[in-house]
Structure 1
């Protein structure tokens, strides 16, 4: 039976309608070579939504979105819609978009605590895969305030603590989760890994403390040895009192770990004798030599003979021979040079009243005796003899 408000269509009208389509073919169909792209533009068949929806380019999608995210709907429905949208983004590994969707869902402030806990936990998962471990941890903690025994939140929290190297906390969170589900695979794996790393960390800390204590004892031994020899460092050169100098030396030794820029350090042997890193400078050629361990009882001539046993590549005139060399140290405060007798030991020179050790590395100048450069170099300085 026909509805009351509709009139039957005559055969002539039908024929006329069909003839119209024969004379005016339908032009809204898909093109054969682009049908897949055009099919993708239909919201129902889209595999992936565009990042930004332009109402002019995608009117159908914009209309559908306005219906889905209608602000007049209850907050719970809106929050769930954003949760579902975030889950879709998460499956596509679009973690930043997933975070945005979950955040919008939380902004609805619905009264469903379970739903809010899921939003926090899901956002934590997205943040975790973005490498934002602290943000993820904050989210799982918020989720547990709403639902203390939320197992997924506990799992995420344990993973975050593991990444943040909070191994003890990771073990604690795993233990709490295993009380809920003793067979939870991820928690069992994380707990085993965190416990192993925690033990390794504790062992390394013990080793570091023992090493630090050993270094402190070495510091004290070095300090006592330097004081006993009346060797002056830059702190005493600055006119500080003894307590300040001792404190400064301890800081110097601690800060440099006894090492200078060359990687060597002041050391003391079993007999209480010191070996110093020593720098030799050749101002005529802007060259240098570094001795990593110059024993305090060694003589300068012995080291010079070893260093110049072969002619260095920069000594083109072959004039740097041990018998022709003069050694000096400089007192910068007085702008004076002091000549060092070759047969002097290092300790004898370090104990000179005007010698000050800088950066725990004594430095000496070496020139060729009576050479034009040496005469000119000494002319502008007040040269003194070491006695």
Structure 2
């Protein structure tokens, strides 16, 4: 609420009213704004007054830095920030209308201050600092820049000419070895194992006795399960430094991994041998029973259902079981039996399948249905419901296609129509 202030008797109305002391809230608000934002010197971009006019004439003016930001749209700000080296993401659009960017050119010029060895050394030292902080991505980038400087062709050399050529060559050689070896460390930590081996190879070209390069290469090869190459690399490293603990540790890890892989390989070989024996014994069992089988490219998906010997697939005394499909073509229905024993009769399974839940007319009863199978020649045979499956399949009249036995179940009252439709379909085929 405003307060009424009583004026003194000698108040001169011709003088401007005294400026009231700021309230504690206003004072706190002004102190909360950093002085840098209130300074006209700290303006990131030119201010456009027409863009920052406030609709409320009594509202306070924005600080210069905030007014500078309000002067532009987000897209305009992004475009201008891209011209600033710190925020630059697109070099093609980093220039002004004439394609120039003074700050960018100044930064580029820094790359050529000093000799090539000095510039490479500078990048290497920055990489070392990043590596100490375990900032592997940045460290790798600095080492890559150093290597790029080292690999520049002589005709493209834009750096200062060294006064001491021998010293410069020594710097270049040491920098090349160290940068490749250290970038290998970064790649190893980043799990870029192939790149690690390539960098180590480059370091070893410069100095074949670089033990760190041998160690890092062997670690990468171990991670790639290239145990023979890893063993060779460790052996070469230990020939240089027989007491190197790190190399001995890698050697132990290689032996442990080799043991694991050998066990896996032995188990896999045993499994493959078991499958081979099972397949051979199954084939022998089918031949002994004169059961014909055929495979096509259109094998149905039956999950793990298949022809097998049970309970022991490696025992010739086991019983053959078959996946069996009961077809009800007159009503477009089916039933699937996963393991139909060779000594089972059709009735053994129809007894628990019938009556069928969808058979509202009660046409499918044990006494009122007959069963058929298609022959090898494309005809039909009627199958005795009390015959063992082995007796039905043996003899060569029918064959098991894609490991699936198909038995057609037809109500006796519809047999004639079924046979006529079957012949008509076969005639068209």
Task: Supply the distance in 2 between the matched residues of 1:315 and 1:149 (Cα, whole angstroms).
Answer: 85
Matches within 5 A, 1:176-325: 176-177=236-237, 180=241, 182=243, 184=245, 190-234=250-294, 261-269=302-310, 270=315, 271-308=317-354, 311-325=355-369
> 2:175 corresponds to which residue?
115
Mapped pair 1:376 → 2:417: yes
TM-score of the superposed pair, with normalisation by structure 2: 0.61
**Contact map agreement 2:124 2:179 (CA 8 A) in 1:** yes
CA 1:92–1:115 in structure 2 vs 1: closer, same or farther (change >3 Å)?
closer
CA 1:135–1:220 in structure 2 vs 1: closer, same or farther (change >3 Å)?
same
Matches within 5 A, 1:27-106: 28-29=41-42, 50-51=88-89, 54=94, 59-69=102-112, 74-84=115-125, 91=135, 93-94=137-138, 97-98=141-142, 100-106=144-150
CA 1:132–1:284 in structure 2 vs 1: closer, same or farther (change >3 Å)?
farther
CA 1:307–1:58 in structure 2 vs 1: closer, same or farther (change >3 Å)?
same
Task: Supply the distance in 2 between the matched residues of 1:286 and 1:89 (Cα, whole angstroms).
Answer: 72
Matches within 5 A, 1:338-357: 338-357=381-400
Task: Supply the distance in 1 between the matched residues of 2:201 and 2:381 (Cα, whole angstroms).
Answer: 70
CA 1:142–1:93 in structure 2 vs 1: closer, same or farther (change >3 Å)?
closer
Task: Supply the distance in 1 between the matched residues of 2:342 and 2:294 (Cα, whole angstroms).
Answer: 19
Q: Which sits farther off after the overlay, 141-150 or 203-212?
A: 141-150
Question: Secondary structure at 2:277's aligned position in 1?
Answer: helix
Question: Secondary structure at 1:367's aligned position in 2?
Answer: strand
Deviations 1:157-199, CA, capped at 9 Å, x for gaps: 13322331224544554555566374645x5665554433321
CA 1:377–1:33 in structure 2 vs 1: closer, same or farther (change >3 Å)?
farther
> 2:204 corresponds to which residue?
144
Deviations 1:280-319, CA, capped at 9 Å, x for gaps: 23334444333232221221111221333xx444444444
CA 1:349–1:33 in structure 2 vs 1: closer, same or farther (change >3 Å)?
farther
Task: Supply the distance in 1 between the matched residues of 2:329 and 2:142 (Cα, whole angstroms).
Answer: 67
Task: Supply the distance in 2 between the matched residues of 1:159 and 1:263 (Cα, whole angstroms).
Answer: 42
Q: Which ranges in structure 1 are unaligned for 5 or more consecutive residues? A: 1-25, 39-45, 239-251
Q: Which sits farther off after the overlay, 82-91 or 198-207?
A: 82-91
CA 1:307–1:161 in structure 2 vs 1: closer, same or farther (change >3 Å)?
farther
**Contact map agreement 1:231 1:350 (CA 8 A) in 2:** yes
**Contact map agreement 2:123 2:143 (CA 8 A) in 1:** no
Deviations 1:12-60, CA, capped at 9 Å, x for gaps: xxxxxxxxxxxxxx9645688859xx9xxxxxxx996755564659633
**Contact map agreement 2:126 2:139 (CA 8 A) in 1:** no
Q: Which ranges in structure 2 are unaligned for 5 or more consecutive residues? A: 1-38, 45-62, 70-83, 155-168, 425-429
Matches within 5 A, 1:15-26: none
Q: Radius of gyration: which is bigger?
A: 2
Task: Supply the distance in 1 between the matched residues of 2:146 and 2:392 (Cα, whole angstroms).
Answer: 75
Question: Secondary structure at 1:380's aligned position in 2?
Answer: helix
CA 1:58–1:96 in structure 2 vs 1: closer, same or farther (change >3 Å)?
farther
